[in-house]
Structure 1
Amino acid sequence: MSITALARAQVQALTPYQSARRIGGQGHIWLNANEAADSGDYTLDCARLNRYPECQPPMVINRYAAYAGLNPEQVLASRGGDEGIELLIRTFCEPGKDQILQCSPTYGMYAISAETNGVGIVDVPLNADRQPDFDAIIGRLDEVKLVFLCSPNNPTGDLVDRAGLLRLLDAARGRALVVVDEAYIEFCPTASQASLLNEYAELVIIRTLSKAFGLAGIRCGFTLANPEVIGLLLKVIAPYPIPEPVAQIAAQALSEEGLARMQTRVDDINRLKAELVGKLAASKQVREVFAANGNYVLVRFAEGAKLFARMATAGIILRDFSSKPGLSDCIRITIGQQAEMDAVLDVLQQEQ
């Protein structure tokens, strides 16, 4: 008997999430994973590495709560925002019985985490304006436990309409949780929904240090929710989710100096993004530039496959989304350093 036959049926049938690192590629300019171009410098105190870390490091929790304008009881730290997504599904969904709802095209880990845990998926595609179809979502609330909305949406960059979200939250009271993934919110902070947390017990927000803070490598994210939800997640989370070195770096990143460094990085990225968007919009090879609210921009090219291949030949690795519904010829470009953006434009201009 094959060892594979011993695995759960869901795992045997599962296609793993195709992360940028799994897809790979050959090149010297990596603009396919929405990573920051730098991380900053941090120090480590190794005196406590022989001890197990605290489940929720107080300095990290307190500093992130202050940064988000919340109470510490409303914050949970995890191994990236991905673990926050996984914990919500494991905590609120019965395998083989319950379902989540997502709005494609969107971040792939909502579906992967659901499938891995034997939880069903209801897909309500974005409407023609690339907004969640709130009427359709509300109509299916009794079928699901969790509704995942990504804002800014990855890969399209669109922000969730606040009026529609409020309608959904009102309808979801006592019926389902509404999870707003704000992994990229530092690039458009006024669009955050965190101010609604004290009004809506059903609202949950996912955050991360991977993007604006430039710390994808340490895997540290946050779930923001009412204390009752946080308490339930703490029943499920691993005993030591935040390693001591991660806690030290996260606390430094959330210090006054660290927040200032993050804001400088965000300002630089937004400036480079605006310059890139302007030049892309003027190119005859570009059909559409999508909403640019994160540290990336999704672009529909006249000939996406050819453009992707030309970039790869030049050693520039981008992310191809042309296989996703409604995203034919679409390529996502992470905003990197000035020289990297110049290299992208140089390749684009070779066949004007």
Structure 2
Amino acid sequence: MNQLSWIQSMLRPHLRSFTPYASARRSMSGGSIWLNANESPFGRAYQVATDDLNRYPDFQNQALNKAYADYAGVNPEQVVSHRGSDESIELLIRTFCEPGRDQILICPPTYGMYAISAAINHNETITVPLQKENWQLDLKGIEAALNDSANSVKVVFLCNPSNPLGNQLRQQDMEAVIAMCAGKALVVVDEAYIEFVDQPASTTMARYLDQYENVVVMRTLSKAFGLAGIRVGFTLANKSIVDALLPVLAPYPLPDVSVQIARQALRLDERLVTRQNTIEIVAEREALLTVLPTFSWVRTMVPSVTNFILIQVENAAALMQHCQAEGILLRNQSAQLGLSECVRITVGSPEENERLLEVLANYAPAA
């Protein structure tokens, strides 16, 4: 037996033909304008101390958790900090889903890491697609899946605002799902893009943590805060869920330098800068939403409340190739359920968006 076949035989069987998540950096490289990962175009400088880098960081930095609790309007005991939202997804599945038995439920098109993390943990993913006519939850379909005696759904993931669509789910629909799952499953609301909606405080499900015992909210500093590079995210949940997650969490989930920068970013003065940057991104988004439909090759466009826009075009691969040749990286979402010939465009800086529109104006799909 050669070395490759021996390693393959050692793998867990369900991982032998496993396809990993194709992240923006993993699937594309090069380019001078990156509009493929929903990152903020605005970077900032922070100061870090390096005197204690010979020591392990805190398991949970209490000052950081309190700062985020104050920002999110929850209690510090309802906050877990960790490596981005991706670690939250993995942590919730590993904590609550028995491998090979329990399932998660998702509503595609949606963020791909929910299903990937479930697959790694050997959990099946039940899919109840969004209703295509309005991209809202299929409540009857979700209820049927939850009540199916053949299923054992432990975690339901709802992405709001949606990635890759960019729209919002109806508040009453999410509350209906929470009620359906009471005593059965967690409802995890991924709010990575919450800062870009008109009224985040009245939109977030974090305000219901004390009302619904099965609600979990995922947050990140990667998007509006412009800190994708430090990989800091938060899980917000009631104390009983937090107490269940902490024993499963890695012993040192966040590097000390990441904690230092995150704490600085959550100061009031820095939050004001983030808010101003968000306002500028939203203004740029609205400008793009006005111009993009004027191109003859754009078929449809999903109204966005995020920092990206999803468009359906005549030939997604050709558009991607044209933009990449000009140094602009976009994200092809055509493999997602219901998103044939769809491209996602991150809202960049004014200069980046101006260049994007110049390149798009010179694009003509082949006849």
- TM-score, normalized by the shorter chain, greater than 0.5: yes
Is 1:107 equivalent to 2:88 in the alignment?
A: no
> Aligned residue for 1:137?
142
- Which consecutive unaligned segments of at least 5 residues does structure 1 have? none
Is 1:215 equivalent to 2:219 in the alignment?
A: no
* Candidates 49, 54, 59, aligned match of 1:55: 59
Q: For 1:304 and 1:86, locate their aligned partners in 2 and report how far apart those are by CA, in whole Å.
A: 31
Matches within 5 A, 1:139-158: 139-142=144-147, 143=151, 144-158=153-167
Is 1:294 equivalent to 2:306 in the alignment?
A: yes
Of 279-288 and 93-102, more deviation after overlay is shown by 279-288
Question: Contact between 2:322 and 2:363, CA under 8 Å: does it hold in 1?
Answer: no
Shift in Å at residue 261 of structure 1?
1.4
Is 1:261 equivalent to 2:273 in the alignment?
A: yes
Q: For 2:146 and 2:261, locate their aligned partners in 1 and report how far apart those are by CA, in whole Å.
A: 40
Q: For 1:7 and 1:150, locate their aligned partners in 2 and report how far apart those are by CA, in whole Å.
A: 32
Residue 36 of structure 1 aligns with an amino acid whose one-letter code is S
Is 1:278 equivalent to 2:282 in the alignment?
A: no
Q: For 2:363 and 2:42, locate their aligned partners in 1 and report how far apart those are by CA, in whole Å.
A: 31
Residue 208 of structure 2 aligns with an amino acid whose one-letter code is L
Aligned with 2:246: secondary structure?
helix
> Aligned residue for 1:245?
257
Shift in Å at residue 305 of structure 1?
2.5
* Candidates 107, 118, 121, aligned match of 1:117: 121
Is 1:16 equivalent to 2:20 in the alignment?
A: yes
TM, length-normalised to structure 1? 0.97
Give aligned-pair identity as a percent.
46
Shift in Å at residue 351 of structure 1?
4.3
Shift in Å at residue 25 of structure 1?
3.4
> Aligned residue for 1:91?
95
Of 330-339 and 131-140, more deviation after overlay is shown by 131-140
Aligned with 1:299: secondary structure?
strand
Of 134-143 and 79-88, more deviation after overlay is shown by 134-143
> Aligned residue for 1:164?
173
Of 259-268 and 63-72, more deviation after overlay is shown by 259-268
Q: For 1:57 and 1:65, locate their aligned partners in 2 and report how far apart those are by CA, in whole Å.
A: 12
Alignment root-mean-square deviation, CA: 1.2
Question: Contact between 2:166 and 2:302, CA under 8 Å: does it hold in 1?
Answer: yes
Shift in Å at residue 36 of structure 1?
1.0
Aligned with 1:165: secondary structure?
helix
Residue 212 of structure 1 aligns with an amino acid whose one-letter code is A
Q: For 1:89 and 1:200, locate their aligned partners in 2 and report how far apart those are by CA, in whole Å.
A: 19
Question: Contact between 1:273 and 1:335, CA under 8 Å: does it hold in 2?
Answer: yes
Shift in Å at residue 18 of structure 1?
0.3
Question: Contact between 1:159 and 1:191, CA under 8 Å: does it hold in 2?
Answer: no
Q: For 1:183 and 1:214, locate their aligned partners in 2 and report how far apart those are by CA, in whole Å.
A: 12
Count the aligned residue pairs.
352
> Aligned residue for 2:328?
316
Shift in Å at residue 309 of structure 1?
1.7
Residue 96 of structure 1 aligns with an amino acid whose one-letter code is G
Q: For 1:10 and 1:215, locate their aligned partners in 2 and report how far apart those are by CA, in whole Å.
A: 34
Shift in Å at residue 256 of structure 1?
0.7
> Aligned residue for 2:347?
335
Residue 193 of structure 1 aligns with an amino acid whose one-letter code is M
Of 120-129 and 133-142, more deviation after overlay is shown by 133-142
Give CA deviations for 1:258-314 in whole Å, capped at 9, x if unaligned: 211110111111011111110012222211111211111101123322222211111
Of 244-253 and 315-324, more deviation after overlay is shown by 315-324
Shift in Å at residue 39 of structure 1?
2.5
Q: For 1:25 and 1:79, locate their aligned partners in 2 and report how far apart those are by CA, in whole Å.
A: 23
Give CA deviations for 1:153-191 in whole Å, capped at 9, x if unaligned: 110112111111111111211111000000010001142
Q: For 1:26 and 1:222, locate their aligned partners in 2 and report how far apart those are by CA, in whole Å.
A: 31
Aligned with 2:16: secondary structure?
helix
Residue 14 of structure 2 aligns with an amino acid whose one-letter code is Q
Residue 304 of structure 1 aligns with an amino acid whose one-letter code is A
Q: Flag as ranges the 4+ runs of structure 1 deviating above 3 A.
A: none
- Which consecutive unaligned segments of at least 5 residues does structure 2 have? none
Residue 24 of structure 1 aligns with an amino acid whose one-letter code is M
